[in-house]
Amino acid sequence: MKIAIAADHGGFRLKQEIVRYLEQQGYQYKDFGTYSEEAVDYPDYALPVARAVAAGQFDRGIICCGTGIGVCIVANKVPGVRAALCHDTFSARASREHNNANVLTLGERVIGTGLALQIVETWLNSQFAGGRHARRVDKITRIEQGCCS
Ligand code: RB5
């Protein structure tokens, strides 16, 4: 599994912890920045990850900011991206099983590192359940394609 990861300054330290986790677990990943706590604009970091996942260059994306909200809004503007803001493991698992989420967003200022890493682990190891959920996710795709019924 290839993972794209990024953060703004508000999520920089959490991103570093997740990168360490990905390395320990042997995941293939690309770090799209930011690379310090200097203030930046979160759309500039969320968009490249979202586009890379939508283009199929990466299987999953993980994006951090202060709350996880801004980067989630940006990522979900990209057709083909289903970004989920998850601050608990139940939602992380459900976002994969029910929504086939391909981007996870997290807020460094909201949860601690220990929980965040559990969420990442749960999310990376959960699979889309398909079935009735596939029908619903297909409807999301049709909305992206301009079909609203
Ligand atoms: C940056 O201060 C903060 O606004 C950003 O990290 C994020 O929380 C936005 O949603």
Q: What is the pLDDT of residues 69-93, one digit of tens each?
A: 999 999 999 999 999 999 999 999 9
Return the pLDDT at 54. 98
Q: Which atom of ligand 1 is nearest to the CA of 10?
A: 6
Return the pLDDT at 149. 58
Pocket test for ligand 1, best of 9, 41, 42, 85 (most atoms within 8 A of CB): 42
Whether the model pTM is above 0.85: yes
User: Ligand 1 centroid vs 82 CA: distance in angstroms?
Assistant: 20
Average pLDDT over residues 38-49: 99
Q: Please work out, in degrees rounded to the nearest 5, the angle formed at the alpha carbon of residue 49 by the alpha carbons of 100 and 130.
A: 10
Which range, of 24-33, 63-72, 139-148, averages the lowest pLDDT?
139-148
Domain definitions of the chain by residue range: 2-144
DSSP secondary structure string for all residues of 53-114: HHTTS-SEEEEEESSSHHHHHHHTTSTT--EEE-SSHHHHHHHHHTT---EEEEETTTS-HH
Cα–Cα distance for residue pair 64/87, rounded to 1 Å: 12
Calculate the average pLDDT of the chain: 98
Q: Is the confidence at residue 10, as pLDDT, over 90? A: yes
148 noted as active-site residue:
no
9, 64, 87, 98: which is the annotated catalytic residue? Answer: 98
User: Ligand 1 centroid vs 49 CA: distance in angstroms?
Assistant: 17
Average pLDDT over residues 39-55: 99
Q: Is the confidence at residue 42, as pLDDT, over 80? A: yes
Q: Please state which of the four CATH numbers 3.40.1400.10, 3.40.50.2300, 3.20.20.70, 3.40.30.10 is assigned to the domain occupying 2-144.
A: 3.40.1400.10
9 neighbors 40 (Cβ within 8 angstroms):
yes
Q: Which atom of ligand 1 is nearest to the CA of 71?
A: 10
Return the pLDDT at 49. 99
147 noted as active-site residue:
no
Cα–Cα distance for residue pair 34/31, rounded to 1 Å: 8
Return the pLDDT at 141. 97
Q: What are the pocket residues of ligand 1 if the criterion is a CB atom closer than 6 Å to any ligand atom?
A: 8, 10, 42, 65-67, 69-70
Q: What is the pLDDT of residues 56-71, one digit of tens each?
A: 999 999 999 999 999 9
Average pLDDT over residues 1-26: 98
